Structure formats: C-alpha cells, structure tokens
C-alpha cells in the first residue's frame, strides 16, 4: 500500500515555488513508473509538466486526475513556526508550504491510482496530468499538457481535479464549475496643470472616479441556475502624483470581475468600453482600456461524473456533498475544453497562509475516496 502521508511529506520537502520544479515531478515520475505508468515530461517554455498513463493509449474508459506541485512563495520564513519545507508532523497535522494546496491532493490521487492499478488492474486507462505552473501565469502548465495530449492522440474520458474544495468539513463540497475572471485596466489621460488654475488643465480623476463608481454600483446579474451573482471589485486607483498643487495628467485604475454564465469576457469588455465612452463624452479626457482574461465561466452540469464522486464521498465520510461553483479559478478551466471535469479535495482553510498545514487523517480519507471513485468508475464499464 502506498502511504499518501509519506508521499505528501516527500513532496512538501521539494522546494517547488513557481516556476521551479524543485524535484517534485521527478519524484512522482519515479514512483509512478515503478507502478507501471508510462511517464513523459511535457515541459514548455521553462515550465515542468508530467504526463503519466497506466493502461492502453486510446482506451475508451480512461479516468484522469489533474493537479499541480508548484506552490506560492513562503513570504518571510521567520514568520513561520516551522520550516516551510520541513514537512513536520505534529498535533495530527503535516506542516509546510503546499501541504494543503495541493501536494496532499496530488499525493492522495497518485497513491490511489498506483494502488488501484496494482491491486485490481482495470479494463481501461488511468491518466495523471501534473503541472508546475498552476500558481503562476498557467499558460504553460495544464494548457501545455492538453496541447501535447491532443497532438499525441491521448485523451481522458473524464477528469477529477484534486484542488481543496471543502470550506470547513471534509466531504462537504464538490466544484462542478467556476466563475470566469476578467481584469480590466483603465488609463485616463487629461492635461496637467496648476490647481490654482484648473481651467488651464483637464483633470482625469473626476472622470475616472465617476466611471468607477458607475461600474461598482451596477448590478451585473442576480445569479443563474448554478452560479451566485457576478461581482465587480475596484482593486487599485493610482496617479503617482506626490504634489498637492498639481492636477495630474494621467490616472490609472484596475478592476476585477468574477462572472457567471450570464456573461462572457467579450460581452463584459464591450460593456466596459461603452461605459468608458459615456463617462468621457464631452469632458476632453480620454480613457483607454486593456483586459486580461484568466478564464471564462464554465459548468459541468450535474450528472454521471458528479454523481460518481458524490457517492464515493458519502460512502467514505458520511457527508453528502453540495455541488458548487464558488471560489476562484483553477486548472479545471483548461480541462473543461477536453472532457467533463469536476473538482474534489480536502479542506482548504490554510492554503497560501503562513504555517500552512493539513489534517493527516484527511489525506488518508482523500486517498480512500479517490480509490473508491476509480473502482466505481471502472465497475460501470463491466
């Protein structure tokens, strides 16, 4: 039996701060290869990724797992009460950067997959896609793996992303979709001048502030069947002006919109441009807009895949999970173009925090859930 706690500890000791591989994927490749998986490094533009498959290429019944081994920086290490990469175990917890997000999830599904194919070799294939670029820009991580798979004729029929999904209690939540994320940057340009002679200047600040208030006050929607209401947050307003007697020529602002399936990035960008045009009409101030889309909203409607996961969670924890689309973005936004995808993992309360830690018992339970999912999935094909 593969110990998922020991494997988590080994992964935590790998200093794989994005974009460094830190030995984490090499460690997994060695363990998976020893269990009979075909392992291929799929690196792109300096980012390390790993593809691993047990079973025949092109098998009709192919279950996939997706996860990442990269972690966010530790910050000031002196703020930690433990070595951030020491994987110390005490008080029933395993401590260290990535312990929760998401080396424990990766260890649990890797251990489940290795034991499953060894004990009850299925009629089909099991695929693991592992990246070192989820916490960064994510352009060369799971996206690169899926591009490579398409080119090689590799495919998953369904996929489970092992991100932490439970807010408070193990088993309480499965993610069946995610909101989209759009960042918009405005640059308002006027004419610099002396505050005592405002008629000789064109202050961009009032125009931009009125625009921001209009945007923040607007109700984008009231929610949809599977999503809460979309939200818009002003994240920064900057002039870079240290003087109290100078009207600035330029002011910048950034907003972020987390949007549901009532919108897409293109429709939201069109709306922002229209609002900017209304705000500047007749003012002499110009506003330019650039946008960055981290992902569109998506949903895997409740059905066979979410039922499969929910039944396994219920069987191992006694908890009936809710289906949710809450939270930020994840690599499921890339996988959803390839196959049906849901997310399930442990409680994520300490992810990205100082003294990040994971309940050791949850790692063991998570492995059992993943192994039950595999058994139930392949049993359906018999």
144-194, pLDDT tens digit by residue?
A: 999 999 999 999 999 999 999 999 999 999 999 999 999 999 999 999 999
Name the catalytic one among 21, 70, 331, 356: 70
What's the token pair of residue 357? Answer: 């830690």
59-88, pLDDT tens digit by residue?
A: 999 999 999 999 999 999 999 999 999 999
Q: Is the pLDDT of residue 382 over 80?
A: no
With bands split at pLDDT 50, 70 and 90, how would you rate the model's confidence at 279?
very high
Query: Quick one: how far is CA 308 from the chain centroid?
Result: 22
Name the catalytic one among 10, 88, 115, 134: 134
91-138, pLDDT tens digit by residue?
A: 999 999 999 999 999 999 999 999 999 999 999 999 999 999 999 889
30-52, pLDDT tens digit by residue?
A: 999 999 999 999 999 999 999 99
pLDDT at 275: 98
Query: Quick one: how far is CA 84 from the chain centroid?
Result: 22
- Known active-site residue 70: yes
| pLDDT > 70 in the chain, percent | 99
- Known active-site residue 221: no
Question: What domains can be seen in the chain, in order of their start residue?
Answer: 4-178+297-379 (3.40.630.10), 180-295 (3.30.70.360)
Q: Is the pLDDT of residue 327 over 90?
A: no
């Amino acid at each position: 039996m593969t110990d998922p706690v020991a494997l988590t500890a080994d992964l935590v000791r790998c200093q794989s701060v994005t974009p460094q591989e830190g030995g984490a994927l090499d460690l997994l490749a060695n363990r998976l290869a020893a269990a009979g998986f075909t392992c291929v490094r799929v690196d792109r533009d300096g980012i390390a990724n790993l593809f691993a498959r047990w079973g025949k290429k092109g098998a009709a019944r192919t279950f996939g797992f997706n996860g990442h081994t990269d972690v966010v920086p530790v910050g000031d290490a002196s703020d930690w009460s433990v070595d951030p990469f020491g994987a110390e175990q005490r008080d029933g917890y395993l401590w260290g950067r990535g312990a929760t997000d998401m080396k424990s999830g990766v260890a649990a599904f890797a251990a489940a997959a290795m034991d499953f194919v060894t004990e009850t070799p299925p009629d089909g294939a099991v695929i693991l896609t592992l990246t070192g670029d989820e916490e960064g820009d994510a352009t060369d991580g799971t996206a690169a793996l899926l591009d490579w798979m398409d080119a090689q004729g590799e495919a998953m029929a369904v996929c489970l992303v092992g991100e932490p999904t439970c807010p408070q209690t193990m088993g309480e939540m499965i993610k069946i979709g995610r909101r989209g994320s759009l960042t918009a940057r405005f640059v308002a340009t006027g004419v610099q001048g002396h505050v005592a002679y405002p008629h000789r200047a064109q202050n961009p600040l009032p125009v931009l502030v009125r625009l921001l208030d209009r945007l923040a006050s607007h109700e984008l929607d009231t929610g949809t069947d599977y999503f809460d209401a979309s939200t818009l947050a002003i994240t920064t307003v900057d002039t870079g002006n240290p003087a109290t007697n100078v009207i600035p020529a330029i002011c910048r602002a950034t907003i972020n919109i987390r949007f549901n399936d009532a919108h897409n990035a293109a429709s939201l960008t069109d709306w922002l441009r229209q609002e900017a045009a209304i705000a500047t009409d007749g003012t002499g101030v110009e506003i330019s807009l650039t946008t960055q889309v981290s992902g569109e909203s998506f949903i895997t409607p409740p059905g066979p895949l979410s039922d499969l996961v929910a039944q396994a969670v219920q069987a191992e924890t006694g908890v009936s999970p809710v289906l949710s689309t809450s939270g930020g973005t994840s690599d499921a936004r890339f996988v959803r173009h390839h196959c049906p995808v849901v997310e399930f993992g442990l409680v994520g309360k300490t992810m990205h925090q100082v003294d990040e830690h994971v309940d050791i018992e949850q790692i063991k339970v998570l492995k059992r859930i993943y192994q039950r999912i595999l058994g139930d999935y392949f049993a359906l094909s018999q």
